[in-house]
């Protein structure tokens, strides 16, 4: 690696000559112009080299500001104190190695040996403890399944006939995000988590059966070479003359679709939400049998319960059903999430590969927020039926349609620039409208500005002064785009709330007396711990999320902000004379 004397300037960097630092002076490369220098200048000092090596190390703090890379995958997951299953997933299994103290244990390359009763020597294989079922599952596969979007899943399912979920399939946004309900015997989990019934049902449509037109997407899209003999009908509880056929006996299914789970969720939703009190005991008895057959993977018995459910639905008087829906006090959130999941599978699953066509680390990187996280953060912001909700960078529209369906916002608006995500937004919105009609649900107003940027967008600028809650997934926005976001939110009204994964107001921001009207001066920024399984690109907690509230007066904290180091350590300021 010696440098020729006829070269002009040093073309070799310090890092390229790192291997020769420990060599003798004769082998150390010396520039021709430095041959007359002192001998001590021929080498880099050890202290300097240690600083260089320290600078080349990966900084773990940047892990919380980058999407998933191989560096993050290699890091040991943080232990999560939730339940036993999550702890086993997040902890890598450790092998215990026994080390002998004898001199033979220091020999390299020789297997351990033992002497049998016949004085013959045989090698001893290391004993391994029996692994549990959770240990036998590869950690990589578990992590990939954790990255999937979440919905309500049936706990304790051990069906041999059901197809295995492909870990490479599209993210399932509406799967259950927690395993707290492992002891539950229901298809819908957490039935105590409900919303108030404020015009949730479309009673005029339910009364006028002739006005309903069935136009929902069939599950045939999940089956290769579908055969009608393998499909079993399930009647609609609202319109018994209509039915949806499910591939109960099909073995080859795409995207890890589970027809039995969806059937169970539909039947339980009908019994617990729609059935009149007179028919609920019979419906709950069917649910018990359905759970037993589901656990045992008894497909013929499962099909028999479906037929009896269809007969029971046909017996319910239509007027009695309407009376039940008029006085229904609450709607389970899990029912809404399961409905959103069905719309997601029908519209996004077949076209999911198109979402991967973007430039890494750019403003167009696609990512989703989980429905359970959205439910909690929307409630924290006070989202209601009188609110106007806006999502800048709405992706396939998950956050927008959940705000409309779950909280009944008078207007839910989303803006998306990517063509592929815009196409799937239209498909998902159409499927949601058809599914809501199928279940007799009233869908509030939803509006999208697709294939357009939210920068210099006329409709965005028009709705900003009316907006109550705005969502900005700025996790990977660059500085120019963040500057544009600052301009857009200037006209937000007092009391409006901004949800973001990074603080809208930069850390260490101080007031600019030449720009007193800047909205940053009136923002009250609050940070909250982002729970695990809140985002689609990782199951880990990626730090904090922020809710910024627009105030009437200037925020006092910006007059004398602490230094950046104290901001990170959350130390108080000590004044001195």
**What is the distance between the alpha carbons of residues 174 and 80, in angstroms, rounded to a whole number?**
22
Residue 60, annotated as binding a ligand: no
Using CA atoms, how far apart are residues 16 and 23, in angstroms rounded to an integer?
14
Given CA atoms 161, 189, 425, 167 in this order, what sign does their dihedral have?
A: negative
Q: 398 among the known binding-site residues?
A: yes
Residue 395 annotated as part of some ligand binding site: yes
Residue 396, annotated as binding a ligand: yes
Beta bridge partners of 498: 470, 548
How far is CA 51 from each of CA 44, 46, 142, rounded to the nearest angstrom?
A: 11, 9, 39
Q: Is 256 annotated as a binding residue?
A: no
Q: Is 21 annotated as a binding residue?
A: no
Q: Binding residue per annotation — 389?
A: yes
For residue 236, the SS3 value is coil
Cα angle 449-451-452, degrees, rounded to a multiple of 5: 65
Rounded Cα distance between 40 and 89, Å, is 54
Q: How far is residue 75 from each of residues 53, 60, 78, 344, measured CA to CA in Å?
A: 20, 9, 9, 32
The verdict on whether residue 368 carries a ligand-binding annotation is yes
Rounded distance between C-alpha atoms, residue 78 and residue 572, angstroms: 29
174, 334 contact by CB (below 8 A): no
Distance CA 369, CA 150 (A): 10
CA distance 459 to 451: 13
Q: What is the 3-state secondary structure (H, E, C) of 196-251?
A: ECCCCECHHHHHCHHHCCCCCCCHHHHECCCCHHHEEEEECCCCCCCEEEEECCCC
- Does 234 carry a binding-site annotation? no
DSSP letter at 357?
-
| Helix axes of 398-407 and 371-380: crossing angle, nearest 10 degrees | 60
Annotated ligand binding at 1? The verdict is no
Q: Is 391 annotated as a binding residue?
A: yes
Q: Is 416 annotated as a binding residue?
A: yes
Which residue spans within 251-410 are E strands per DSSP? 330-332, 388-392
Is 367 annotated to bind ligand? yes
Could you write out the DSSP letters of every residue in 377-433? HHHHTT--TT-EEEEES-TTSHHHHHHHHHH--SEEEEEE--HHHHHHHHHHHHHHH
Q: Where do we find the tokens 């008895």?
A: 285
Residue 396: φ, ψ to 5°: -90, 5
User: Residues marked as binding?
Assistant: 366-369, 389-398, 416, 453-454
User: Residues marked as binding for S-adenosyl-L-methionine?
Assistant: 366-369, 389-398, 416, 453-454
């Amino acid at each position: 690696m010696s440098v020729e004397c006829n070269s002009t300037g040093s073309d070799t960097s310090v890092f390229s000559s790192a291997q020769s630092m420990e060599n003798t002076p004769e082998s150390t490369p010396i520039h021709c112009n430095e041959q007359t220098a002192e001998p001590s200048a021929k080498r880099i000092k050890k202290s300097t080299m240690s600083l260089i090596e320290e600078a080349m190390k990966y900084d773990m703090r940047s892990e919380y500001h980058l999407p998933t890379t191989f560096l993050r995958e290699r890091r040991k997951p943080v232990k999560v104190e939730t339940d036993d299953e999550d702890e086993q997933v997040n902890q890598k299994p450790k092998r215990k190695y026994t080390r002998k103290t004898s001199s033979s244990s220091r020999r390299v390359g020789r297997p351990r040996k033992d002497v049998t009763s016949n004085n013959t020597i045989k090698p001893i294989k290391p004993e391994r403890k029996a692994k549990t079922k959770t240990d036998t599952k590869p950690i990589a596969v578990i992590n990939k399944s954790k990255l999937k979007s979440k919905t309500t899943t049936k706990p304790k399912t051990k069906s041999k006939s059901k197809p295995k979920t492909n870990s490479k399939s599209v993210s399932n946004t509406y799967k259950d995000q927690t395993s707290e309900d492992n002891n539950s015997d229901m298809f819908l989990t957490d039935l105590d988590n409900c919303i108030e019934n404020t015009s949730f049902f479309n009673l005029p449509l339910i009364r006028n059966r002739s006005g309903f037109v069935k136009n929902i997407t069939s599950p045939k899209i999940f089956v290769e070479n579908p055969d009608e003999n393998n499909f079993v009908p399930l009647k609609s509880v609202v319109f018994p003359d209509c039915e949806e056929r499910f591939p109960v006996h099909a073995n080859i299914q795409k995207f890890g679709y589970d027809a039995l789970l969806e059937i169970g969720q539909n039947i339980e939703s009908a019994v617990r939400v729609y059935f009149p009190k007179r028919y609920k005991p019979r419906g709950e008895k069917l649910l018990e049998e359905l759970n037993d057959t589901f656990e045992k993977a008894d497909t013929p018995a499962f099909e028999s319960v479906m037929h009896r459910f269809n007969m029971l639905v046909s017996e319910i008087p239509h007027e009695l059903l309407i009376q039940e829906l008029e006085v229904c006090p609450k709607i389970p959130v899990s029912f809404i999430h399961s409905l959103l999941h069905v719309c997601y599978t029908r519209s996004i699953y077949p076209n999911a590969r198109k979402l991967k066509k973007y430039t890494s680390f750019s403003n167009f990187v696609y990512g989703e927020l989980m429905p359970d996280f959205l439910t909690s953060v929307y409630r924290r912001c006070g989202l209601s039926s009188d609110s106007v909700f806006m999502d800048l960078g709405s992706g396939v529209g998950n956050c927008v349609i959940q705000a409309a369906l779950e909280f009944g916002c008078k207007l839910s608006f989303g803006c998306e620039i990517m063509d592929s995500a815009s196409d799937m937004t239209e498909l998902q919105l159409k499927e949601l409208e058809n599914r809501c009609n199928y279940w007799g649900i009233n869908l509030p107003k939803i509006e999208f500005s697709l294939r357009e940027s939210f920068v210099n967008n006329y409709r965005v600028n028009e709705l900003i002064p009316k907006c109550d809650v705005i969502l900005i997934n700025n996790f990977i926005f660059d500085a120019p785009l963040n500057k544009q976001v600052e301009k857009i939110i200037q006209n937000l009204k007092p009391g409006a709330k901004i949800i973001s994964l990074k603080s809208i107001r930069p850390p260490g921001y101080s007031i600019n007396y030449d720009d007193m009207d800047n909205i940053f001066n009136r923002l009250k920024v609050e940070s909250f711990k982002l729970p695990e399984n809140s985002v689609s690109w990782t199951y880990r907690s990626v730090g904090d999320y922020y809710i910024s509230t627009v105030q009437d007066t200037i925020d006092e904290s910006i007059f004398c902000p602490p230094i950046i180091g104290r901001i990170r350590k959350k130390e108080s300021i000590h004044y001195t004379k």
